[in-house]
Amino acid sequence: MSNKSKQPLMLAIDTSCDETSAAVTRGRIVLSNIVASQAQLHQPYGGVFPTVAKLAHVENIDRTIDTALKRAQISYRQLDAVAVTAGPGLAPALEVGIGKAKDLAQQYSKPLIAVNHIEAHALSSLLQRQSNKNKLSVKNTSWPVLSLVVSGGHSEFILVAKIGQYQRLGHTIDDAAGECLDKVGRILSLGYPAGPVIEEFAQRGDHTRFKFPLPMTTSRNYNLSFSGLKTFARNLIASLEKSDQLNKQTTYDCCASFQHAVFRHITYKLEKVLQQHPVKEVWLGGGVTANIYLRKIVRQQLKAHQLKLYTPFSKKICGDNAAMIGLVASFRFAQQQFVSNPNQLTRKPRWPITD
Ligand code: KG4
Ligand code: ZN
């Protein structure tokens, strides 16, 4: 290994959706983490358009990798391995990162590590800044952990027995939470992604103004469903528009009530999970977990269970980023779990974390 530290030095790449990201990590320390967002490009569609995403990844990838290496002041020669997201994600988007990672691994004779994007979100609370000692570490973790991944593509309760041993306790049966926030934001013309705007508007609104239903209360499993809330919001907005009541304040109230309903559904199911599964810690990951209101209500809920909540160290680490890919790759590196034939590595758009 090329460094004084025993931790592997990793170049990590993620092109699973609409962010082109490259990072350099040493174990769980982030040396650089570059995220080139395509949000502006997808604005007109109100969601991610796969072929547009692919072209933008192709255009951005080299520059993003160069910047990540320069910021970390690391050369290709110094790297211990190259890591890349192999799935799940948008097939055309995944291909770009995989192709680049294969080329680099071959060109510089480095091992190649394939990483699951959901596993990366699930473990992202373990990452730490170079300057800052994060209290959470694998050594100090009390297992089992419940990791709640809430993003634009996924909403899952994952039981982590230890690193690499996962059980998916529940997942969304339709839209993901972030997708649902984005779709309702589109109806309100809030741009893409709408999650952060809804959070901001909600702070100025009254979440008790509009009563949304609580989904899936009769099902005994831990699955989630957001499409009913989306339909309820669509009908509510249409009726407010029709009666000429969709002013600034009702829009804020609508955002507050809708956001509250989305998170109440998550916390309702979280309570069920906690009652049945005596976990020791709860971790959050995924773009939606940047939301301060979500963190607040989950933290309050966990107090009653005397459980601590751990979150990624910054909003950037909540959303799609390659540093979390580097983190997972460092665990695979320790087990020498490399892609045996890089030429055969293909995208896995539906790769489950349990595989
Ligand atoms: O993790 P991520 O970057 O990509 C996926 O893996 O899907 O998550 C993106 C999602 C979007 O739906 C976006 O609206 C949502 O995360 N999001 C938020 C916030 N920031 C991003 N949702 C609610 N509140 C936020 N502050
Ligand atoms: Zn993601």
Report CA(209)–ligand 2 centroid distance (Å).
32
153 lines ligand 1 (CB under 6 A): yes
Q: Report helix angle 50-72 to 91-107, nearest 10.
A: 30
Per-residue pLDDT 10s for the chain (355 aa) are 544 458 999 999 999 999 999 999 999 999 999 999 888 888 787 778 899 999 999 999 999 999 999 999 999 999 999 999 999 999 999 999 999 999 999 999 999 999 999 999 999 999 999 876 666 778 789 999 999 999 999 999 999 999 999 999 999 999 999 999 999 999 999 999 999 999 999 999 999 999 999 999 999 999 999 999 999 999 999 999 999 999 999 999 999 999 999 999 999 999 999 999 999 999 999 999 999 999 999 999 999 999 999 999 999 999 999 999 999 999 999 999 999 999 999 999 999 999 8
Candidate from 16, 90, 288 with most ligand 1 atoms within 8 A of CB, to mutate: 288
For the CA atoms of 180, 184, 190, 193, what is the dihedral angle to 10 degrees?
Answer: 10
Does residue 182's CB lie within 6 angstroms of at least one atom of ligand 1?
yes
Where are the alpha helices (H) located in 27-72, listed in sequence order? 39-42, 50-72
- The continuous run of DSSP H or E covering 99 comes out as helix 91-107
| Pocket lining: 286 vs ligand 1, CB cutoff 6 Å | yes
Our answer on whether the CB atom of 185 is closer than 6 Å to any ligand 1 atom is: no
Q: Which ligand is nearest to the CA of 319?
A: 1
The candidate with the shortest Cα–Cα distance to 97, out of 83, 87, 84, 108, is 84
Q: Cα separation of 203 and 191, whole Å? A: 18
Q: What atom of ligand 1 comes closest to residue 185's alpha carbon? A: 14
Q: Is 193 helix (H, G, I), strand (E, B) or coil?
A: coil
What is the CA(96)–ligand 1 centre distance, in A?
22
Question: Is the four-CA dihedral 32, 199, 147, 310 of positive or negative sign?
Answer: positive
Q: Which ligand is nearest to the CA of 178?
A: 1
Q: Which atom of ligand 1 is nearest to the CA of 292?
A: 26
320 CA: nearest ligand 1 atom: 3
Q: Is the CB of 155 under 6 A from ligand 1?
A: no
Instruction: Give the pair of three-digit tokens for residue 319.
Output: 């959303």
Instruction: From the CA of 153, give the closest atom in ligand 1.
Output: 7
| 330 and 25 Cβ atoms separated by less than 8 Å | yes
Cα separation, 116 vs 341, whole angstroms: 18
Determine the residue type at 76.
Y
With a 6 Å cutoff on the Cβ, whether 181 touches ligand 1 is yes
Closest ligand by atom to 285 CA: 1
- Compute the distance between CA of residue 72 and CA of residue 151 in angstroms, rounded to an integer: 28
> For residues 301 and 310, what is the distance between their CA atoms, to the nearest angstrom?
14
